[in-house]
């Protein structure tokens, strides 16, 4: 079963094609962004031209940090109510788009800070347009919002059909200004999503053509884009892979791989995509015996074997250096076991297996 209530516009000039649909959503949008990406990408300028020409009075909330906090969401919801906005446009990487989803739900349902994960209280949401400026998260086509509780330091998501964006506007030109480290990390987040569509106990053969095609796009285009950031065709392929990864996890959810990555982000400050990249090989090793047929079908499409896939990963411009302390590992094992994504693993994962993966990590930090 596939459910995707988001209207997707893809390709150079996608915003202009989507403009009529955007303008029909309301009269006063709240633009939700981080501090720089939306401007640097050119997406914010393009959007405000469209809104200004239509005579819409828009408001800007540009306080979303990386790994957005519950406090930021509450501040955004307050701004939406104060300004009388009637829909939202999230522009940027995963953080502004995820924050926009949570702001929409918090404001529409008058939720308090501690109610943001209480999905049984979700009755309505404001329409949301998602405009990605990175190629990795796929959140423009998912029902998930991942937030960080600054008090506990725990990163966790919620998922609800009311959080699906109404429109996704995916223009690869908005990713041309990404630096190589962000390009690398976000592409590996997308690759994680695609692999997790196979790992998940909600895997669906209907999704395999998307998964295979998305993974192939990353395999063939990531390194050329790192060498030539202006490669628009390569950027487009990476954005398509990210979109497919989002469509995939909207159906299958993420798994152990994301659960293992969250503590690396919240405790050590590693970017989300890098955290996934670090655990990609040991998770694949753990799952391979149970999913050999499905994974071999993927490798056949990629035109390489598992060891060659690992060689491709090894050859990415990361260096190895990260020493996880025993304290970190013990604290994180509990956090991983308590993570929502763990319900989607293909088989039960033990504390010992989590500990072994953390202990055995050959850690990767970008060299670029």
Integer-rounded Cα radius of gyration of the chain? 20
**Smallest distance from the beta carbon of 301 to Fe ion, in angstroms?**
22
**Smallest distance from the beta carbon of 193 to Fe ion, in angstroms?**
6
**Smallest distance from the beta carbon of 245 to Fe ion, in angstroms?**
8
Q: Looking at 15-23, 181-189, 277-285, 327-335, which segment touches Fe ion (CB under 5 A)?
A: 181-189
**Smallest distance from the beta carbon of 325 to Fe ion, in angstroms?**
25
29 vs 197, which CB is nearer to Fe ion?
197
33 vs 186, which CB is nearer to Fe ion?
186
**Would you say 339 and 156 are in contact if contact means Cβ atoms under 8 Å apart?**
yes
140 vs 189, which CB is nearer to Fe ion?
189
Q: Select the residue whose beta carbon is closest to Fe ion and give its number.
A: 189
- Measured over the CA atoms of residue 8, residue 134, residue 159 and residue 244, the dihedral's sign is positive
**Smallest distance from the beta carbon of 140 to Fe ion, in angstroms?**
13
Q: Looking at 23-31, 187-195, 290-298, 348-356, which segment touches Fe ion (CB under 5 A)?
A: 187-195
Burial, 116: exposed, middle or buried (Cβ in 10 Å; 0-12, 13-18, 19+)? buried
191 vs 349, which CB is nearer to Fe ion?
191
280 vs 298, which CB is nearer to Fe ion?
280
**Smallest distance from the beta carbon of 257 to Fe ion, in angstroms?**
9
Q: Looking at 57-65, 172-180, 188-196, 202-210, which segment touches Fe ion (CB under 5 A)?
A: 188-196
171 vs 189, which CB is nearer to Fe ion?
189
189 in contact with Fe ion (CB under 5 A): yes
Q: Looking at 99-107, 171-179, 189-197, 314-322, which segment touches Fe ion (CB under 5 A)?
A: 189-197
As a whole number of angstroms, the distance between CA 331 and CA 334 comes to: 6
**Smallest distance from the beta carbon of 13 to Fe ion, in angstroms?**
27
The size of the interface with Fe ion (CB under 5 A), counted in residues, is 1
Say which DSSP state 150 is in: T
**Would you say 173 and 12 are in contact if contact means Cβ atoms under 8 Å apart?**
yes
CB atoms within 10 A of CB 108: 17
Q: Compute the CA torsion angle 214, 215, 220, 225 (nearest 10 deg).
A: 70
294 in contact with Fe ion (CB under 5 A): no
140 in contact with Fe ion (CB under 5 A): no
**Would you say 336 and 342 are in contact if contact means Cβ atoms under 8 Å apart?**
yes
Q: Looking at 30-38, 152-160, 182-190, 336-344, which segment touches Fe ion (CB under 5 A)?
A: 182-190
46 vs 189, which CB is nearer to Fe ion?
189
**Smallest distance from the beta carbon of 28 to Fe ion, in angstroms?**
31
**Would you say 16 and 148 are in contact if contact means Cβ atoms under 8 Å apart?**
no
189 vs 335, which CB is nearer to Fe ion?
189
Find, among 74, 214, 228, the residue nearest to 136 by Cα: 214
76 vs 271, which CB is nearer to Fe ion?
271
- CA distances in angstroms from 57 to 74, 154, 171, 323, listed in the order given: 22, 37, 24, 51
Q: Are strands 128-132 and 87-92 parallel, antiparallel or unpaired?
A: parallel
As a whole number of angstroms, the distance between CA 279 and CA 256 comes to: 9
Is 292 in a helix, a strand, or coil?
Answer: helix
β partners of residue 146: 157
Q: Looking at 106-114, 183-191, 313-321, 336-344, which segment touches Fe ion (CB under 5 A)?
A: 183-191
As a whole number of angstroms, the distance between CA 41 and CA 36 comes to: 9
Interface residues toward Fe ion, by CB under 5 A: 189
């Amino acid at each position: 079963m596939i459910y995707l209530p988001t209207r997707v516009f893809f390709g150079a000039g996608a915003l202009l094609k989507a403009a009529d649909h955007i303008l029909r959503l309301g009269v006063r949008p709240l633009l939700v962004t981080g501090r720089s990406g939306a401007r640097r990408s050119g997406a914010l300028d393009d959007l405000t031209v469209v809104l200004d020409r239509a005579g819409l009075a828009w408001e800007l909330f540009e306080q979303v940090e990386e790994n957005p906090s519950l406090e930021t969401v509450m501040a955004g919801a307050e701004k939406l109510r104060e300004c009388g906005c009637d829909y939202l446009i999230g522009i940027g990487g995963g953080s502004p788009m995820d924050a926009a989803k949570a702001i929409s739900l918090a404001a529409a349902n008058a939720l308090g800070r501690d109610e943001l994960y209480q999905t049984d209280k979700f009755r309505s949401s404001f329409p949301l347009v998602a405009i990605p400026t990175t190629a990795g998260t796929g959140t423009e086509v998912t029902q998930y919002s991942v937030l960080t509780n600054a008090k506990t330091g725990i990163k966790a998501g919620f998922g609800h059909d009311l959080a699906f964006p109404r429109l996704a506007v995916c223009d690869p030109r908005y990713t041309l200004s990404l630096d190589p480290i962000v390009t690398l990390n976000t592409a590996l987040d997308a690759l994680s999503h695609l692999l997790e569509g196979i790992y998940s106990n909600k895997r669906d053969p209907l999704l395999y053509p998307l998964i295979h095609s998305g993974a192939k796009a990353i395999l063939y285009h990531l390194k050329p884009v790192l060498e030539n950031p202006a490669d628009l065709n390569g950027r487009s392929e990476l954005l398509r892979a990210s979109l497919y990864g989002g469509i995939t996890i909207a159906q299958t959810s993420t798994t152990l791989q994301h659960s293992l990555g969250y503590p690396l982000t919240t405790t050590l400050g590693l970017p989300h995509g890098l955290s996934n990249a670090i655990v990609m090989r040991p998770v694949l090793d753990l799952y391979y015996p149970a999913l050999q047929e499905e994974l071999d079908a993927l490798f056949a499409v990629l035109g390489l074997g598992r060891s060659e896939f690992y060689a491709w990963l090894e050859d990415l411009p990361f260096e190895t250096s990260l020493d996880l302390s025993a304290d970190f590992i013990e604290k994180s094992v509990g956090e991983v076991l308590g993570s929502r994504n763990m319900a989607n693993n293909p088989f039960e994962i033990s504390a010992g297996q989590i500990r072994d993966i953390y202990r055995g990590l050959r850690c990767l930090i970008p060299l670029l």
